[in-house]
Amino acid sequence: MKRIQRLLQRAAKAPLYRKKFAGLKPRAVRDLRSFSATIPPTRLEELAAEKLKGAASLSPRLCVGRGPRAIFQLEYDTQPALYLALDRADLRGYAQVLAHCWSLVGLRKGDRVAIFDYGTSPLSYLAASSFTPYLDRGTADLLGCLPVCNDGVANMSPRAVEILRYVRPRVFFIRHDCLHALTMEVERQALRLADYTQALVAAENESLLSDEERRSFEKRLGVPIYRLLRIDAAMFLAMECPRCRLLHCRRDAYFVETLAEGDGAAENPLVVTNWFAGTSPTVRYLSQVRGSIEPSGCPSGPKDLRIAV
């Protein structure tokens, strides 16, 4: 309850929510159930429409009085472009969430990690304090890992392969749209990828590799591929667990629901509330990803929220 109150207090300082929640009676929100029933979800299109109206402001979710330290353009095809503003505490919380993802795929102190992704992807900018100003401890710093980054464009695949051969990262993070080009390059060089890395993690904003695509790439590359779900507008990261194969995320960082659309589908759009985002509060963000919430209890993270997608 304290968490909900704190979140709503912060949200009242952001133009979008101030307008949206104007008629809301704070007393109506007593618990998570009434929170879901009372607070309307927010769609990406709404963020873009609000940004268009208030063209002078950086973001309709930016809290008045919070000076952001780092600003990233979000990877969505909206007009106008949307930005995410973060301060030191936001960056800290976000990097801790990514550390949870890294730990779940077995990354430990001393491990080398390679990232083949854009600089505007949280997988890249949260990885190390040396990459991002005001990020006091990046994910690699928290876990004692050694990160290497490569630009996330497909024609950088030959260099990504050089990194694999030279760095031999334990885990290789890659964005979906580079996976095909990397696979072609590995095949062209007739490499046995398992000699250089133990696993690939494929990620994309608000999208997941299908099971069929995953199996096909695993067959061609000869290493397991795990999926990482990014919902960047909500500063959300969830990692596919090698043990249970569901997506895990930290319960103290997020509240995740699904929005039933009345068509009886087993999987519905995921709605994410972020507890740590202070500068750009995220209150019931309605994502484009469909899934279902599964009970907790995996031995690899007994308290984690689990999502099937």
Which residues here bind Zn ion, judged by CB under 5 A? 241, 243-244, 298, 300
Kindly state the smallest distance separating residue 298's Cβ from Zn ion, in Å: 3
Our CA dihedral for 132, 133, 139, 143, rounded to 10 degrees, sits at 130
Kindly state the smallest distance separating residue 301's Cβ from Zn ion, in Å: 6
- What are the distances in angstroms from CA 6 to CA 10, 257, 276? 6, 19, 10
> Toward Zn ion, which CB reaches closer, 182 or 241?
241
The partner residues of 229 in beta bridges, in order of sequence, read 204, 238
> Is residue 65 left, alpha or beta, with left meaning phi > 0 and alpha meaning psi from -120 to 50?
left
> Toward Zn ion, which CB reaches closer, 100 or 284?
100
Copy the structure tokens of residue 222: 């000869």
Kindly state the smallest distance separating residue 245's Cβ from Zn ion, in Å: 7
> Toward Zn ion, which CB reaches closer, 221 or 307?
307
> Toward Zn ion, which CB reaches closer, 143 or 247?
247
Kindly state the smallest distance separating residue 193's Cβ from Zn ion, in Å: 24
Kindly state the smallest distance separating residue 192's Cβ from Zn ion, in Å: 29
> Toward Zn ion, which CB reaches closer, 244 or 309?
244
Q: Give which of 287, 293, 175 is closest to 234, Cα–Cα.
A: 287
- What are the distances in angstroms from CA 113 to CA 2, 162, 170? 37, 14, 6
CB under 8 Å to 210, separation ≥6 — which residues? none
